[in-house]
Amino acid sequence: MHPLHREKLDAGDLAVQTWAQFVSAYRELNARKLFWVALILNAVVIGAVAAIGIDEKGISIFGYALGIPGVNSRLFPDGKLYKLIITTVGVSFWLSWISTILALLSTASMFPDLATGGVDTLLSKPIGRTRLLLTKFATGLLFTALQVSVFAVLAFLVLGIRGGVWEIGLFVVVPLMVVFFSYLFAVQAVVGLVTRSPIASVIVACLFWIFVFLVHSGEQFTLFGATASRLEIEGMEKKLASLQTEEAKSGLAAKLEEQKANDGNWRLAHGIFFAFKTVLPKTTETANLVARELDVRVNNAPADEEPQQDDENARRQRGFFRSQFVTEKKLSAEIQKEMDARPVWWVVGTSFGFELALLGIGVWYFRRRDF
Amino acid sequence: MTNARIGAASDLAIDLADVTKMYAGRVHALQGVAMQVRRGEIFGLLGPNGAGKSTLVKIMTTIVRATTARGTILGAPVGHRPTLARVGYLPEHHRFPQYLTGRQCVEFFGAMSLMRRTERRARAAEMLDVVGMGAWGDRRVGTYSKGMQQRTGLAAALVNDPELVILDEPTDGVDPVGRREIRDVLLAMRDQGRTVFLNSHLLGEVEMVSDRVAIMLKGKVERQGSMAELTDDSRRWRVTIEGTAPAWCAEFARVSPLLEQGSGGSARHAVEFRNDDIAFVQSVIDRLRAEQIAIVGVREIRESLEDLFMRLVRDVDGRAKAVGAGNVNTGTAAGAGAGADAKGGR
């Protein structure tokens, strides 16, 4: 009997094929200049973070004091400055935008290639189309996984050596950014499979990303409005209870009724955006989970103090409606509370739901197609 | 013989019955193909462009889904994926990953065929040597010429020590020396007991190495069998004589005009018998000799594969035209000129 005679493939067979595809994908990345450029840029970004110094006297770059008043290790204790820079510049800007765009460009031809010349020999092997497509998809995440792993290791070392904090939680950035990239890569993969055009797949993925960002911005804007409106109503009701004269009460009561009418509109608008956002991938929130994990917020002071109406500082703090009752600080704290209350399963789970649905369409298409 | 079963299922590497494929737009690429390929033989598949050859090959290798398909490949139902581990396939116009070296490429496809690392490494090195790519194995595929890519493809098709090798235009882009080498590889594979399924435009190439062939036209197998079986109908005997043929020969033979000048300046004529009964031919020879007619030669004449192929193409085209006169929608994918088939034929 032939040594490769099989009635059914076993786990060892699946492992051999999967490993071979990952090794091949790594070799593909290795052959691409863009991969190495991105890797060097990763080191440059972290190197720039490492160049920043902070002590009791202040902040410096390459040993040169910047002389920014108040910014010192008392304000940012325990490596918090490094965490802040790593999460804002490193994760929210570098990894979430630049590195992701490089990854999309680098993997753009993967699925169009699969749908054209390279697929015949693969399909003639003992591997099902579903597994072939999903393994290919997983290998496409290798670019981001390797890039972010290098970023995480370097950031971990900088945070430890320069900030004195060995923050193992930093490595959560690896799975989170891979998940983040996978949302967009799923779009790129399916478009690439159907159109067989790398350019079209990158363009559609980027347009989709912008669309998701706009929906997120809309949701955030309406959340801002709805929260501000709620706080305004609460403030008015509190004030109303404290007023003595009927004349003053009736004036404020009229404003309160008007505000309540507006409040319904804000809630409705936010509800629509929120529902829409729920079914879409949550790119920004996924990236922000890193900051949530590392707890980089600097100002955790209570935000519920009453505004002092005649105080210059309080006027500067006035909120969204130039309100007499809601400070920006309190509004920000409420929104932050709302955002933090959104569970990780909702952020990642619903995004995965979208991704799986999209990949399901891709698998359905790939299984039906003749090559 | 045409589509009759030729042996027990276990003797057959490929046993197809009623394979049909209808593409979108009601293009009927395959119309009930039946084909049997014995284990250990080289089987050639011939046909014009658009005959459905590649579609059939792709159905056997699960690249195209059949509309209906009954039959087996290496004893397993068509489409049984684990069986593909014992099949080697070289597609036409294949494109291997340009970033891999030839060796990595062959090893990769070995892994995809379930081979474990040690054996696939050894086997990849061996196959690269067999196809003459041993010295080039560590250079990237992107730097290879078309012929080198084809040789590497052949090595990749053979790396899993396949029982059945399906080759689609294996000598495409290969120089004459390379073609000869590939032919030798095919013959060596048969000697090792493998079944080789060869899909090629090159009639001469197929005729040279194939034990049996099938001719596909307009999505159907028109003929299949050994060369002898396919050309049996056209077998006849030719007796070349010195001088003029006696008049009685014309009753049962076609007498050709002057063939050539004989040694003594006399004319030579050929008498071609319409029947292939050798005993009858012997009696005619006896009669000729009795009449003192010098016999220069006796030869068996058969239609060449190319002649048969062209005749079938003309017949099928004629039938299609006759049908088409009454019914415009033939519903076949085969529309390309039959003449295109014979490209490079001889």
- Measured N-to-C along each axis, helices A142-163 and A129-140 cross at an angle, to the nearest 10 degrees, of 30
pLDDT reported for residue B332: 38
Categorise residue B80: left if φ over 0, alpha if ψ from -120 to 50, beta otherwise. beta
pLDDT reported for residue A78: 72
How large is the C-alpha radius of gyration of chain A? 26
β-bridge mates for residue B299, sequence order: B238
Q: Would you give the DSSP letter of residue B294?
A: P
Among the listed residues B40, B15, B98, the one whose alpha carbon sits nearest the alpha carbon of residue B5: B15
Residue found by looking up tokens 């600080």 in the block: A329
Average pLDDT, chain B: 85
Note the CATH number of domain B9-225: 3.40.50.300
| Confidence band, pLDDT 50/70/90 cuts, at residue B324 | low
Among the listed residues B257, B341, B162, B83, the one whose alpha carbon sits nearest the alpha carbon of residue A127: B83
Give the number of C-alpha atoms closer than 13 A to the C-alpha of residue A347, restricted to the C-beta side: 20
User: Strand pairing of B76-77 and B27-38?
Assistant: unpaired
pLDDT reported for residue A321: 57
Q: Where are the alpha helices (DSSP H) in chain A?
A: 11-30, 33-50, 80-85, 100-106, 110-115, 119-123, 129-140, 142-163, 173-195, 198-242, 246-279, 283-294, 312-317, 328-341, 344, 350-368
User: Residues of A with CB below 8 A from B91's CB?
Assistant: 120-121, 124
Chain B, nearest residue to A8 by Cα: B82
β-bridge mates for residue B254, sequence order: B272
SS3 B93: coil
The shortest C-alpha distance from B132 to chain A (Å) reads: 21
Residue found by looking up tokens 């991704």 in the block: A355
- From chain B residues 60-89, the ones with a CB under 8 A of any chain A CB are 61-65, 81-87, 89
Q: Does residue B330 surpass a pLDDT of 60?
A: no
For residue A85, what are its two tokens?
């820079």
Q: pLDDT (tens digit, 9 = 90+) per residue, B226-277?
A: 988 888 877 888 888 888 888 888 887 777 765 666 566 677 888 887 666 7
The residues, ordered by sequence, that sit 6+ positions from B110 with a Cβ below 8 Å of its Cβ are B119, B120, B123, B124, B156, B159, B160
Q: Which residues in A have their CB inside 8 Å of a CB on B? A: 2-9, 13, 16-17, 19-20, 23-24, 27-28, 30-32, 116-128, 368, 370-371
The pairs formed by B56-61 with CB atoms below 8 angstroms and a separation of 24 or more are B56/B16, B56/B19, B56/B30, B56/B216, B57/B166, B57/B168, B57/B197, B57/B199, B58/A120, B58/A370, B58/A371, B59/B19, B59/B21, B59/B30, B60/B14, B60/B16, B60/B166, B60/B197, B61/A120, B61/A123, B61/A124, B61/B87, B61/B89, B61/B166
Query: What are the structural domain ranges in chain B?
Result: 9-225, 236-301
- From chain B residues 130-159, the ones with a CB under 8 A of any chain A CB are 153, 156
Categorise residue A323: left if φ over 0, alpha if ψ from -120 to 50, beta otherwise. beta
User: Residues of B with CB below 8 A from A35's CB?
Assistant: none
pLDDT reported for residue B157: 96
The residues, ordered by sequence, that sit 6+ positions from A357 with a Cβ below 8 Å of its Cβ are none
* CB burial readout A181-212, b (16+ within 10 A) else e: bbbbbbbbbbbbbbbebbebbbebbbebbeeb
Whether residue B81 and residue A127 make contact (CB cut-off 8 A), yes or no, is yes
Which backbone phi and psi does B34 adopt, to 5 degrees? Answer: -125, 135
User: Residues of A with CB below 8 A from B119's CB?
Assistant: 3
Categorise residue A77: left if φ over 0, alpha if ψ from -120 to 50, beta otherwise. beta
pLDDT reported for residue B335: 36
Give the pLDDT mean for B128-142: 95
Whether residue A2 and residue B86 make contact (CB cut-off 8 A), yes or no, is yes
Give the pLDDT mean for B164-185: 89
Chain A, nearest residue to B97 by Cα: A118
Distance of CA B277 to the CA centre of its chain: 29
pLDDT reported for residue B345: 32
Q: Does residue B215 surpass a pLDDT of 70?
A: yes
pLDDT reported for residue B109: 96
Distance of CA A189 to the CA centre of its chain: 20
Under a CB-based contact definition with an 8 Å cutoff, are residues A29 and A146 in contact? yes
> What number of other Cβ atoms are within 10 A of residue B150's Cβ?
23
The residues, ordered by sequence, that sit 6+ positions from A90 with a Cβ below 8 Å of its Cβ are A45, A46, A49, A151, A155
Amino acid identity, position A278: T
Number of A to B CB contacts under 8 A, please give it.
Answer: 107
What distance in Å separates the CA atoms of residue A239 and residue A261, rounded to the nearest whole number?
A: 19
pLDDT reported for residue B340: 33
Whether residue A118 and residue B81 make contact (CB cut-off 8 A), yes or no, is no
> What separation in angstroms does the CA of B311 have from each of B119, B289, B314?
48, 36, 5
Asked if B267 is an interface residue toward chain A (Cβ–Cβ < 8 A), one would say: no
The per-residue DSSP string of A120-160 comes to HHHHTSS--HHHHHHHHHHHHTHHHHHHHHHHHHHHHHHHH
pLDDT reported for residue A181: 96
SS3 B219: coil
> What number of other Cβ atoms are within 10 A of residue B222's Cβ?
20
For residue B71, what are its two tokens?
């039959």
Spans of chain A below 70 pLDDT = 117, 295-323
pLDDT reported for residue B328: 40
Under a CB-based contact definition with an 8 Å cutoff, are residues B198 and B170 in contact? yes
User: Strand pairing of B236-242 and B267-273?
Assistant: antiparallel
Most distant CA pair in chain B, distance:
77
The pairs formed by A230-233 with CB atoms below 8 angstroms and a separation of 24 or more are A230/A263, A231/A319, A231/A323, A231/A325, A231/A326, A231/A330, A231/A331, A231/A334, A232/A259, A232/A321, A232/A323, A232/A325, A232/A326, A233/A259, A233/A260, A233/A263
Under a CB-based contact definition with an 8 Å cutoff, are residues B110 and B147 in contact? no
How many residues does the structure list for chain B? 346
What distance in Å separates the CA atoms of residue B344 and residue B346, rounded to the nearest whole number?
A: 6
> What number of other Cβ atoms are within 10 A of residue B51's Cβ?
29
pLDDT reported for residue B323: 62
Chosen CATH of B236-301 out of 1.20.1070, 3.40.50, 2.60.120, 3.30.70? 3.30.70
Q: Does residue B339 surpass a pLDDT of 50?
A: no
Whether residue A126 and residue B114 make contact (CB cut-off 8 A), yes or no, is yes
User: Residues of A with CB below 8 A from B100's CB?
Assistant: 24, 27
For residue A29, what are its two tokens?
């990345």
pLDDT reported for residue B342: 32
Under a CB-based contact definition with an 8 Å cutoff, are residues B281 and B274 in contact? no
User: Residues of B with CB below 8 A from A23's CB?
Assistant: 108
β-bridge mates for residue B23, sequence order: B27
> What separation in angstroms does the CA of A340 have from each of A162, A292, B32, B243?
29, 8, 64, 111
Chain B, nearest residue to A126 by Cα: B81
Among the listed residues B255, B280, B277, B278, the one whose alpha carbon sits nearest the alpha carbon of residue B268: B255
Q: Does residue B108 surpass a pLDDT of 50?
A: yes
